[in-house]
Amino acid sequence: MTSLSPNLPPDKQREMLRQMLTIRRFEERASDDYRAGKIYGVVHCYIGEEAVAVGVCTALDPRDRIISTHRGHGHCIAKGADLNRMMAELYGRQTGYCKGKGGSMHIADFGIGMLGANGIVAGGIAIVTGAGLAAQMEGKGGVAVSFFGDGASNAGPFHECLNIAATWKLPMLYVCENNMYAAQTAAAATHALGDVAGRAAGYGIPGVVVDGNDAFAVYQAANTAVARARAGDGPTLIECKTYRWRGHTERAGQPDPRERAEVEAWQRKDPITLLERQLREQGELDDAGLRAMEGEIIGALEAAVAFAEASPFPLPEQATNDVFAA
C-alpha cells in the first residue's frame, strides 16, 4: 500500500528523496567513522526512519521551529542543517555546531529553527512546547514541532505538555516516532494502549496514526496538522509507525533483543525504496537522475568529512567556554 502522491511540485518530491538519502548516507558514514574511532561520544542512527523527519519538515517553512531527540541527525538534515558543521561536531572539532563540545546529541541551529537534539528522553517536548507558546505570542503563524520516541511518550513531560498545549490551543505538532522499542525494551512492555495516538483523546486533540515509512503519507498528515495549528485550532498528535534498522546506538557489543526476522521484514519496507518507486511510477525519477543525486550526496559528505578532519580540536584553555557546567 502506498499513499497517493501529494500535491507537491515534482522538484519538491525529489527533494524529499534527496534529503532521505542524505540522512542515510550521512549516518552510514558516521557509523563507519565512529567504529573507526574517529567520532566520539554516542551516535544513535535514524536509518529506517528517514520518512518521518523529511515528511514532516516538508510541510514546514522557515518560521517554524522543531526539536529533536538523541536520534537527531535526520531532523537536523530535514530542517536544513549544514553538513559540514554537523560532521565537524561529530568529529569533536571547533568548527562544529557546538564547537566540538556537544557531539551527536546536542546539535542545534536556531537560525534554521532547529532548537536542538537532546540526550534527555522527553526533555525536548517541554522545550518546544515553550516554542509553541512563543509562536502563538509572536502571532506570525509559525508552528512548533516536537519529535519524540514511543519511550518518551510514557514520560511525564509528554502528558503535561499535551495537556497545556491542548488547553491553550498552541500551534504544535507532536510527532511520535514509534519504532516499537525504547533502547532494548519493547513498547508492549511499557504501555497497554496499542496506539500512542489514542492518548490524544485524553487531552481533547486529534490523534492520527500514519505509516511512518511512507514519506508522502507523513507529509499529508503533517500538512493537515500544520494547517490546523496555523488556523489557531491547536495541536495534533501524529504517531508514525516506523522502525530503526540498527541497534539502539552504534556502540559495539550492546544487546539487541530484536528478532532478525523482524528487522528484515522492516528492511523490506524501506522508506527510501518506497519513495523511489513512487517517483519512478510518476515519471519523476529515472536511473540517471538517481545516480546524479547519489553522486552529489556522496560528494557533499566527502567534503563534510574533509572539512571536519581539517578543523582543529577545541583547545584545553577553551574547555570552560560556552558550557553551562564544567
Ligand X SMILES: Cc1ncc(C[n+]2csc(CCOP(=O)(O)OP(=O)(O)O)c2C)c(N)n1
Residues making contact with Mg ion (CB under 5 A): 149-151, 179, 182
DSSP H or E run through 85: helix 83-90
What character string, x for contact with ligand X (CB under 6 A) and - otherwise, covers 266-305?
----------------------------------------
Does 48 interact with ligand X (rule: CB under 6 A)? no
What is the total count of residues that contact ligand X (CB under 6 A)? 16
**Shortest separation between residue 183's beta carbon and ligand X, angstroms:** 4
As a dihedral over the C-alpha atoms of residue 113, residue 119, residue 125, residue 127, rounded to 10 degrees, the angle is: -60
Q: Which does 152 bind (CB under 5 to 8 A by kind): Mg ion, ligand X, none?
A: ligand X
Specify whether the CB–CB gap between 321 and 102 falls below 8 A: no
Choose, by CB under 6 A, the member of 149, 157, 234, 247 that binds ligand X: 149
Does 70 interact with ligand X (rule: CB under 6 A)? yes
Specify whether the CB–CB gap between 41 and 102 falls below 8 A: no
**Shortest separation between residue 114's beta carbon and ligand X, angstroms:** 17
- Residue 237's φ and ψ, nearest 5 degrees, are -100, 120
SS3 119: coil
**Shortest separation between residue 261's beta carbon and Mg ion, angstroms:** 19
Q: Which does 70 bind (CB under 5 to 8 A by kind): Mg ion, ligand X, none?
A: ligand X
Among the residue ranges 134-142, 149-157, 251-259, 310-318, the one whose residues contact ligand X (CB under 6 A): 149-157
DSSP of 181-207: EETTEEGGGT-S-S-GGGGGGGGTS-E
Choose, by CB under 6 A, the member of 143, 152, 162, 210 that binds ligand X: 152
Q: Cα separation of 84 and 37, whole Å?
A: 19
Among the residue ranges 175-183, 200-208, 269-277, 303-311, the one whose residues contact ligand X (CB under 6 A): 175-183
Q: Cα separation of 174 and 128, whole Å?
A: 10
Does 181 interact with ligand X (rule: CB under 6 A)? yes
SS3 234: coil
Among the residue ranges 13-21, 165-173, 179-187, 230-238, the one whose residues contact ligand X (CB under 6 A): 179-187
**Shortest separation between residue 117's beta carbon and ligand X, angstroms:** 11
**Shortest separation between residue 182's beta carbon and ligand X, angstroms:** 3
Name the residue nearer to ligand X (CB basis): 96 or 151.
Answer: 151
DSSP 8-class letter at 3: P
Beta strand spans in the chain (E): 65-67, 144-149, 172-178, 181-182, 185-186, 207-211, 236-241
Residues 6+ apart with CB under 8 A from 219: 6, 8, 16, 55, 56, 58, 59
Q: Which does 208 bind (CB under 5 to 8 A by kind): ligand X, Mg ion, none?
A: none
Name the residue nearer to ligand X (CB basis): 177 or 239.
Answer: 177
The two beta strands, 144-149 and 207-211, are unpaired
Q: Cα separation of 221 and 79, whole Å?
A: 18
Does 88 interact with ligand X (rule: CB under 6 A)? no
**Shortest separation between residue 207's beta carbon and Mg ion, angstroms:** 17
- Cell numbers 527533494 correspond to 15
Tell me which residues touch ligand X (CB under 6 A): 69-71, 119-121, 149-152, 177, 179, 181-183, 248
